[in-house]
Amino acid sequence: MTSHKTTQTMKPATAAKKLGVYLEATPAEFQEGVVTRSELNALQAEPPQWLQELRRNGPHPRPVVASKLGVSIAGLARGGVTEALTTEQIDALKQENPEWLQKERGTQADVRKEAVRIKEKHAEQAERQQQSGS
């Protein structure tokens, strides 16, 4: 009895998300085809020129823009940024440092601090339970 493995494929949108690039900026043949798992792995291992260029200069998808600015995706939306931005546009925003960006960076820092506090609290509780249980 022989079992044949089916090739795992994904939509271009999924592949673009995994590669961290803006789908609309990718070459037409990438947007129109399907991407196999092995093709995705090859793109990640040895990115072609177009992928290197996109990662370097953009336009970048919102999760990448948010990360580069140090804010959440929701924070981007509150700041009025709804489109993909180029590296140049992101750098310009950092230079301008508008009030909304300062506020959202502060919010993001508070969220991170709270996440750390909760993680530490859970670790302490787990440790206490372990000590009382042994």
Q: Which residues of the chain have pLDDT under 50?
A: none
pLDDT of residue 134: 60
pLDDT of residue 27: 93
pLDDT of residue 4: 57
pLDDT of residue 71: 94
Q: Coil, strand or helix: which one is 9?
A: strand
Q: Mean pLDDT in the chain?
A: 90
d(CA 11, CA 33): 8
Indicate the DSSP class of residue 24.
Answer: G
What pTM, to 2 d.p., does this model score? Answer: 0.73
pLDDT of residue 14: 93
Q: Which amino acid is at 112?
A: R
Cβ neighbours of residue 63 closer than 8 Å, sequence gap 6 or more: 20, 73
Whether the CB-CB separation of 85 and 54 falls below 8 Å is answered with no
Q: Coil, strand or helix: which one is 22?
A: coil
